[in-house]
Homo-oligomer: A and B are copies of this chain.
Amino acid sequence: MKMKALVLSPESRLNEVCSEKCRALLNEHFDTSWNDTGRDYTKEELAAMVSEAEVILTSWGSPSITEEALENAVKLRAVGHAAGTVKKLVPKPIFSKGIRVYSAAPRIALSVGEYCLGALLSMLRYLPTLNTSLHDGQWRELGLKGRELTGSTVGIVSASSTARAFIKLLAPFQVNVLLYDPFLSEEAAAQLNVKRATLEEVMSCPIISVHVPNLPATERMISRELIERIPDGAIFINSSRAQCLDKEAFMEALESGRFFAALDVFEQEPLPVDHPVRKLPNVLITPHVAGASVQGHLALMQAVVEDIIRGLHDEKTSFEVSEKMWEIMA
C-alpha cells in the first residue's frame, strides 16, 4: 500500500513549483491528496487531514504546521517544503518526534548563484550602462573599458548554499576565492577550493559577494569600518539580506561613487519610490529576484519529493533540515 501524501498548496500556487513530471512522481510513489479547493485549507480542515498524512508537502504561503497540529500528526514521517526557509513552517518539537524535514532552499540557491555571476559579469563589462548609452544614440563616448573576471580575487561572506552555488559557477574563471564563515572548517574550505579568510580580508577584495542569513547575529555585521575597506572600483554584490549592513555607512559609501554594487535586497521592500539608491548610476538594482526563475521555481517540489523518497529508503539526502540547521536558520 502506498503512503499517504498531502499537498497543501492550492493548484494556482502549485503550478509554479510543481512540474508535470513531479505530479507523476508523487502519484507513482504516494497516495496523494491534491488541494483542489482553489484556496488554502482552513485550520480545521488541516487538523483533520494531518492525522492521516504520512508526508506533507508545502510551498510559499502554506499554513504553518503548529504544535497543536503536530499533536494530531501521528502518522507523519516527513514534511517537504518546496520553497526556502522552514523556520516559520514547522515548530522545533517536530525534530524530537522523528519527523524528517526537507527544504528546497539549496535548489533556490542555484538561481541565486546564476544571478550573482550574471550581475558580476554584467557590471565588470558595464553592460547596463553601455546598453543605455547605445540606446541613447551614443557609441563609445563613455570611454568605459571592461574588466575580466578570470584570475581575479573574489571575497565571499558566509558559506551558505547560495554562496556555494555561486562558487561552483566560478570554477572555470580560475579565481582566488576568499571565504569568511566562522563555522567553515579547513577541510570544508579545501573541498570548496576556497581559502578561509577574516571578514576584514574578504571586505578588502576587488569583488565581494554577501550571502549571510538574516539573523540577530548578522545584523549590521558589515560595519562602517568594514565598508570603508571596500577598495575603490570594487564590485559589491548583495543577494542575501540588507540588514547585515550598517545602512547609513553603506549609503554614504555608495553615494561617493567610489565602487560599484549589485543590490537585489533592501531594508524595506518594496524599495521606497524616493529611496536615494534609485538615483545612483554605480548601482545595479533588482527587485529581490535573485532566487526567482521559471525553471528554478518549477524544480522546487521535485527536489524535495525526490529527497523524501531517498530518505524513506534510508539513502543519503541533500535537502534535509536538521534541528541544528533549523536553529540557525533565518
- Give me the interface of A with B, judged by CB distance under 8 Å: 110-111, 114-115, 117-119, 121-122, 124-125, 127-128, 130-132, 134-140, 145-151, 168-169, 171-173, 269-271, 273-274, 278-279, 284-287, 289, 292-297
Chain B residues in 8 Å Cβ range of A147: 293-295
Residue on B nearest A121 in the bound complex, by CB: B118
Complex CA distance for A285 and B140, rounded to whole angstroms: 12
Tell me the minimal C-beta distance from A162 to chain B in angstroms: 14
Are A139 and B271 in contact (CB-based, < 8 A)?
A: yes
Chain B residues in 8 Å Cβ range of A168: 172
Given A124-B118, A125-B114, A127-B119, does the pair A135, B294 have CB atoms closer than 8 Å? no
Are A293 and B134 in contact (CB-based, < 8 A)?
A: no
Tell me the minimal C-beta distance from A181 to chain B in angstroms: 21
Residue on B nearest A296 in the bound complex, by CB: B148
Tell me the minimal C-beta distance from A148 to chain B in angstroms: 4
Given A121-B118, A128-B127, does the pair A289, B110 have CB atoms closer than 8 Å? no
Complex CA distance for A140 and B286, rounded to whole angstroms: 9
Chain B residues in 8 Å Cβ range of A136: 278
Q: How many copies does the complex hold?
A: 2
Residue on B nearest A125 in the bound complex, by CB: B118
Given A122-B118, A134-B271, does the pair A111, B287 have CB atoms closer than 8 Å? no
Given A118-B118, A146-B293, A294-B146, does the pair A287, B134 have CB atoms closer than 8 Å? yes
Chain B residues in 8 Å Cβ range of A119: 122, 127
Complex CA distance for A90 and B145, rounded to whole angstroms: 29
Residue on B nearest A270 in the bound complex, by CB: B139
Which 10 pairs across A and B sit closest by C-beta, in order of nearness? A118-B121, A139-B270, A134-B285, A148-B295, A122-B122, A128-B128, A146-B293, A148-B293, A130-B286, A137-B273
30 A-B pairs, CB-CB below 8 angstroms?
Answer: A111-B148, A114-B148, A114-B150, A118-B121, A118-B125, A119-B127, A121-B121, A124-B293, A125-B286, A125-B289, A125-B293, A127-B128, A128-B132, A130-B287, A131-B284, A132-B132, A134-B287, A136-B278, A137-B274, A139-B270, A139-B271, A140-B270, A145-B297, A146-B292, A147-B294, A147-B295, A148-B294, A148-B296, A169-B172, A171-B172
Tell me the minimal C-beta distance from A309 to chain B in angstroms: 21
Tell me the minimal C-beta distance from A126 to chain B in angstroms: 8
Chain B residues in 8 Å Cβ range of A121: 114-115, 117-118, 121-122
Residue on B nearest A139 in the bound complex, by CB: B270
